[in-house]
Structure 1
């Protein structure tokens, strides 16, 4: 093992391309609420999407007593509480702290970790990632430097199947069949191979080295890909620092094989359900919690995986039917799996339309589209997922503008003045 040797920060470079920002990171959390048109908004980080049943009930209690009575799932497997009452911040923080959802006030916005939700439940993947998740979250909360990460910085722990590896995380840890792990940084094609047991420590070290690069850019770099051409320098710097910290590390190629999230249904020893537009009422949420014998796993695809080990096929089928009766999506052919939307009106003052209502009104048409749809109230396209899809963006003069990919060429766009004409517009843009 090599002895740890202090190193100077990496040299500055004119190649860095920081984003043109004139203010600090305003990403909301549970201690820093965001003022929206429908009230305050809290974003509760749930590393790996893992919630105990007790924690799930605490979130339902907060949504019912302090918010709008709904729980909103995000594309990072977190939970947003909306419509929060004025001056409820202290009460919310106390409630979450008692439930164990606020282990470190100084790190609550940086605990952004997604993990393969079916890991250990369906016989797939190369490694069960729960030990990685626990170790990384503990190391994050113990790192003074990590407090400087943006609320947008993302870690992904992939069990080897390639599901969360597709989400464009800043630091992706991917299990390999031989027990090692590949650490990849942003969209760089080079990866670093480390021993599996060293993976959480190597992931945190990569984030801490990134912060040194970010400081040289004046703090205006929040994500690794914002380093531009300096991303290659970052990979080399992380490799050197890993060796100096006693972590064996060699260069390797990034594994680019990816898959999607879990479909609804019974999968191995788990139930998988989807929340339409990522939104659950308190009764729906409580129904899921009551079916769960121990924990829930929120997915980055706005779904929930419920581990039900030791149950019979008949019991699993009955539980899934119960969740379907509560209004959750349990059919893998449901058109809701192909439709997403930002919050829209009336919750967001920047939105030009009630995109969720329009998405629901045109659900049958969207289900027949060659590509999934994402509805946005403005050009910011908040919550927009990765991958090819048709963007339906509310236009300043009314109606919508549809944009879809066109093979390797530029996106094609068309106007939509009336949502009743969506089928015609979709045919024109995806044919």
Structure 2
């Protein structure tokens, strides 16, 4: 189903029923905005991740009017607007409500091509809807359920409190946090999810799936299990590229470092309109998909996206780099993270061969990549710190001036043997040798 270009009437009751903290501070109709170094950040949960080009253009124009015009697609495929203030955020929220409905309640995620992907083992949408319908009070806002049909674009790389991975149309593999639990029949999967969510809620609003004692969890879902845990690991898929659907085709691009300015996003939406593309979908890993019956339309859209600076190829080295806005837009940043990341992506393509992730963070909070990365560069007051296989806030392996980072990475690249991946090179060298390469004058 495609969205209509003209939004349907949508209730703004949330504007008057929001908690007092929201009414004081900002975006009562959206997810509670977060204070960042460049103002308030508002996250928009779009139902089904579906947008028309007109709606995307209107959102970008609204973000420029009430914020700083910087938009992001998150690793989970949510749209974010930056640079709002306590004065403009409520007006932004009201304007967004006239453009597109905003999803609230329990976060239940499905892949962006759910239900139209010929390679998925099961359509995850009915189960996702059944789980949403089972309301459980007392859950924290970060509790997330993933229902993954296992198609061309999966959600393997995303964390979840509860995960259902399709085995077949009739059975799902159930995991809680990182613990495989067992298989469940489709008919009882929503009840199993409700039982687990009830347990999480009983531990308080700060509780997550990882906090559940294993013996309590197993007892709660024992009646729903049809088999033992049998996880089948698979590499995470990319949303960048071309995909064949049940009817038609899709093409995916990504935002460089997860962020783009409103003018570029408006231009991209307009190009879709001109080409006759009516269906856009937010996707995980900072991506955006366009759907069309004619692949030639999608090829032209991809070309337009490339000209606007979007990532259009899975081999683009920027796809292996995470970077926050840094000192260019955040008071907490000690490093112009995205400018540095752009330069490193351009000059060190050999190093960024797809076997490692590079995280460039303006400070030790590591907002752009809250997971471990092979290499993390962290801005500090007087220099730049290197963290190996860790988080931005971990103990650094070495510290050097940011101006020397280019030469340090060049020295590291020269250590690679013919045919060796960067990941293999880092493992072979070890921490002490890598630290020496970075400290070398």
TM normalised by structure 2 equals: 0.75
The residue number in structure 1 matching 2:21 is none
| Structural RMSD (CA) | 3.2
SS of residue paired to 1:389: strand
Aligned 8 A contact 1:341 1:355 in 2:
yes
Give 1:122 shift: 4.8
Q: Determine the structure 2 residue equivalent to 1:12.
A: none
Q: Residues 426 and 254 from structure 1, CA distance in 2 versus in 1: closer, same or farther, beyond 3 angstroms?
A: farther
**Pairing partner for 1:194 from 167, 184, 188:** 184
Aligned twin of 2:50: 50
Which residue does the alignment assign to 2:374? Answer: 389
> Any gaps of 5 or more consecutive residues in structure 1?
1-25
CA deviations on 1:25-75 (whole Å, 9 max, x unpaired) are x9x983532333322221222355333445424422321211111211112
Which residue matches 1:423? 409
Does residue 168 (structure 1) correspond to residue 159 (structure 2)? The answer is yes
Tell me the distance in 2 between the aligned counterparts of 1:222 and 1:367: 41
Map 1:316-331 to 2 at 5 A. Answer: 316-331=298-313
1:118 and 1:385 map into 2 onto residues whose CA distance is 26
Q: 2: CA distance between counterparts of 1:197 and 1:71?
A: 40
Mapped to 1, the partners of 2:304 and 2:312 lie a distance apart of 10
Displacement of 1:201 after TM fit? 4.9
Shift of 1:164: 1.0
The one of 279, 296, 299 equivalent to 1:314 is 296
Quote the offset at 1:411 in angstroms: 10
Partners of 2:268 and 2:127 lie apart in 1 by 26
Q: CA deviation at 1:78?
A: 1.0
1:373 and 1:389 in contact (8 A); partners too: yes
CA shift for structure 1 position 263? 4.8
C-alpha distance in structure 1 between counterparts of 2:408 and 2:144, whole Å: 35
Shift of 1:131: 3.3
**Corresponding position of 1:413:** 397
Question: Separation in 2 of the partners of 1:383 and 1:150?
Answer: 22
1:426, distance to aligned residue in structure 2 (A): 4.0
**TM-score normalized by the length of structure 1:** 0.76
Deviation at 1:126, TM superposition (A): 0.5
For 2:5, the equivalent position in structure 1 comes to none
Partner residue of 1:9?
A: none
Query: Which residue pairs with 1:350 in the alignment?
Result: 332
In structure 1, what is the Cα distance between the partners aligned to 2:129 and 2:57? 22
Asked if residue 127 in structure 1 is aligned to residue 119 in structure 2, the reply is no
Q: Where does residue 332 of structure 1 map in the other structure?
A: 314
In the alignment, the residues of structure 2 paired with residue 190 and residue 296 of structure 1 have an alpha-carbon distance, to the nearest angstrom, of 35
Structure 1 residues 251, 97: CA separation in 2 closer, same or farther (over 3 Å shift)?
A: farther
Whole-Å Cα distance in 2 between the matches of residues 52 and 197 of structure 1?
Answer: 34
Cα deviation, residue 197, structure 1? 4.8
Match of 1:180 among 159, 171, 177: 171
In structure 1, the partner of 2:15 is: none
Aligned counterpart for 2:226 among listed residues 240, 250, 264: 250
CA contact (8 A) 2:386 2:399 kept: yes
Q: Which residue of 2 aligns with 1:22?
A: none
CA distance in 2, matches of 1:50, 1:425: 45
In 2 relative to 1, CA 388–281 (structure 1 residues): closer, same or farther, beyond 3 Å?
closer
Structure 2 distance, partners of 1:277, 1:144, is: 35
Paired residue secondary structure (2:71): strand
Match of 1:235, SS state, is helix
In structure 2, relative to structure 1, the CA distance for the partners of 1:271 and 1:194 (3 Å cut) is: same
Matches within 5 A, 1:6-405: 30=30, 32-46=32-46, 49-53=49-53, 55-104=55-104, 107=105, 111-137=106-132, 139=133, 143=135, 145=137, 148-161=138-151, 163-191=154-182, 193-212=183-202, 214-215=203-204, 219=205, 221-225=206-210, 227=211, 230-239=212-221, 243=223, 248-268=224-244, 269-290=249-270, 291=272, 293-308=277-292, 310-311=293-294, 313-369=295-351, 370-384=355-369, 386=371, 389-404=374-389
Shift of 1:279: 1.0
Contact 2:61 2:266 in 1 (8 A): no
Query: Relative to structure 1, is the Cα distance of residues 48 and 157 closer, same or farther in structure 2, using a 3 angstrom cutoff?
Result: farther
**Closer, same or farther: CA 336–152 of 1 in aligned 2, 3 Å:** same
C-alpha contact 1:404 1:411 (8 A) present in aligned 2: no
Name which of structure 1's ranges 119-128 and 35-44 shifts more when overlaid on structure 2: 119-128
